[in-house]
C-alpha cells in the first residue's frame, strides 16, 4: 500500500450505510441527507468495476466522507475516500442536474482508483498519467452503467477529447509521461494533459483493440502487479 493512500478521520459526522453495512457515507449532521445519491450509486459502481475488471475489491469495507473544508476535489485513500462536499453531496429538488452528474462522475473516478492507483501503483510520479488517465476514462464507463440515460460515453468526447485537442495544440503542452526529478515537480503534472489526454489515449486503445480484448488486458495488467 502506497504511503500517500493512508488516511484516517476523527469526526462527529453522521453516517449512512448500505444494506450489508460494508459501504458507508459520512457527512456533517446538517448535510447527511444530501449523501443518499452517493450511497445509492457507490455500491453499484463498485460492484460493476469488480465485474468489469474481474477482480474483487480487496478490502472488507468502503467509506466515503464529505469534508466541508477540502482543497482537493477528492482523494482516493484506500477504503476511505475523502471528498469536497460539492463532489459528494446532492439534494434532490435543490441541487442542479449538473451537480448530480458531477457527484456521479467524481464518485466513479475515485472508485476506479481503488484498482488503478491503489491496487496497482506506478513506481514513480513519471507515470502518473496511467493512474489518472485510466481513472478519467473508466469513470465514464462506471457512470454509464448506473445512469445510462446520461450518455456519459458520448459526453467524454465533449468534456475530455475536444478540450484536450485545444490544450495540446498550445506550446505549453507536454508529453503525458514526463520526467519528475524533484518532489516540488510532482504537483505540476496533475493537469488536464495527464488526466484528459491520458484518458483519450486509453479510450483509443479500447476502440482499436475492441472492448473485450481491452478488458482482458486490464485484468492481466492488474493481476500481474
154 is in an annotated binding site: no
CA distances from 166 to 136, 152, 208 (A): 18, 21, 23
110 is annotated as an active-site residue: yes
113 is in an annotated binding site: yes
> In terms of C-beta density within 10 A (0-12 exposed, 13-18 middle, 19 or more buried), how is residue 67 classed?
buried
Helix (H, G, I), strand (E, B) or coil at 67: strand
Q: Which residue has cell 476511505?
A: 80
Please, where are the H alpha helices in 147-191? Answer: 152-156, 162-168
CA distances from 155 to 80, 81, 111, 144, 181 (A): 28, 25, 20, 10, 36
CA distances from 58 to 23, 43, 46, 53 (A): 13, 14, 11, 12
Q: How far apart are CA 143 and CA 12, in angstroms?
A: 31
Q: How far apart are CA 49 and CA 52, in angstroms?
A: 5
29 is in an annotated binding site: no
Options 50, 85, 92, 110, the catalytic residue: 110
Residues flagged as binding site for Zn(2+):
109, 113, 132
| Residues designated catalytic | 110
Residues flagged as binding site:
109, 113, 132
Amino acid at each position: 500500500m502506497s504511503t500517500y493512500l493512508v488516511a484516517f478521520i476523527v469526526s462527529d459526522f453522521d453516517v449512512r450505510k448500505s444494506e450489508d453495512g460494508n459501504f458507508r457515507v459520512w457527512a456533517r449532521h446538517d448535510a447527511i441527507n444530501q449523501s443518499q445519491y452517493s450511497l445509492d450509486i457507490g455500491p453499484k459502481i463498485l460492484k460493476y468495476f469488480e465485474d468489469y475488471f474481474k477482480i474483487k475489491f480487496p478490502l472488507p469495507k468502503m467509506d466515503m466522507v464529505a469534508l466541508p473544508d477540502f482543497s482537493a476535489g477528492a482523494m482516493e485513500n484506500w477504503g476511505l475516500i475523502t471528498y469536497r462536499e460539492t463532489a459528494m453531496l446532492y439534494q434532490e429538488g435543490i441541487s442542479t442536474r449538473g451537480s448530480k452528474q458531477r457527484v456521479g462522475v467524481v464518485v466513479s473516478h475515485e472508485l476506479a482508483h481503488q484498482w488503478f492507483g491503489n491496487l496497482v501503483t506506478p513506481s514513480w510520479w513519471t507515470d502518473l498519467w496511467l493512474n489518472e488517465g485510466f481513472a478519467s476514462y473508466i469513470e465514464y464507463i462506471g457512470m454509464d452503467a448506473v445512469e445510462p440515460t446520461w450518455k456519459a460515453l458520448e459526453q467524454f468526447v465533449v468534456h475530455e477529447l475536444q478540450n484536450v485537442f485545444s490544450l495540446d495544440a498550445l506550446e505549453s503542452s507536454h508529453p503525458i509521461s514526463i520526467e519528475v526529478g524533484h518532489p516540488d515537480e510532482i504537483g505540476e503534472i496533475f493537469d488536464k494533459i495527464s488526466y484528459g489526454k491520458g484518458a483519450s489515449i486509453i479510450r483509443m486503445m479500447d476502440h482499436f483493440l475492441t472492448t473485450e480484448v481491452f478488458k482482458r488486458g486490464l485484468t492481466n495488467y492488474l493481476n500481474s502487479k
